[in-house]
């Protein structure tokens, strides 16, 4: 299915960023044009309030670390219980 859409877009190719290749901003339908200084101020305030982005690899590493820590704690408690059951 093909859908026709008429949107006003501001596209920033190769922004001065280590992280981003391109930024795309869609203007509201009722806005004809935006003064450059207002567009820059809005964009900067939005980017400062945006949440941090974590990659799948970072999330997987964090999950493996947490699983390892819990397993180590369980093994330690089991070892203490086997050595002296009255301790726990």
pLDDT in tens, 31-52: 777 787 887 788 778 777 776 7
- Based on the fold, state whether residues 32 and 63 are members of the same structural domain: no
- Looking at the fold, whether 22 and 45 belong to one and the same domain comes out as yes
In a domain, 3, yes or no: no
How would DSSP label each residue in 2-40? -------EEEEES-S-SS-SEEEEEPPTT-----HHHHH
Query: Looking at the structure, do residues 16 and 44 belong to the same domain, yes or no?
Result: yes
The pLDDT of residue 88 is above 60: no
Same domain, 42 and 18: yes
Task: Give the domain extent around 67.
Answer: 56-87
**Could you tell me if residue 80 is inside a domain?**
yes
* Cα–Cα distance, 10 to 6 (Å, whole number): 13
pTM: 0.42
Check residue 79 and give its pLDDT.
Answer: 85
What is the number of domains present in the chain?
A: 2
Domain assignment present for 19:
yes
Name the helix (H) or strand (E) containing 53.
Answer: none
């Amino acid at each position: 299915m093909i859908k026709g859409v008429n949107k006003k877009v501001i596209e920033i190719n190769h922004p001065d960023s280590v992280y981003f290749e391109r930024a795309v901003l869609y203007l509201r339908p009722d806005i004809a044009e935006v003064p450059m200084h207002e567009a820059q101020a809005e964009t900067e305030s939005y980017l400062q309030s945006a949440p941090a982005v974590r990659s799948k690899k970072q999330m997987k590493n964090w999950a493996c670390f947490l699983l390892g820590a819990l397993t180590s704690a369980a093994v330690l408690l089991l070892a203490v219980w086997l050595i002296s059951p009255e301790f726990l």
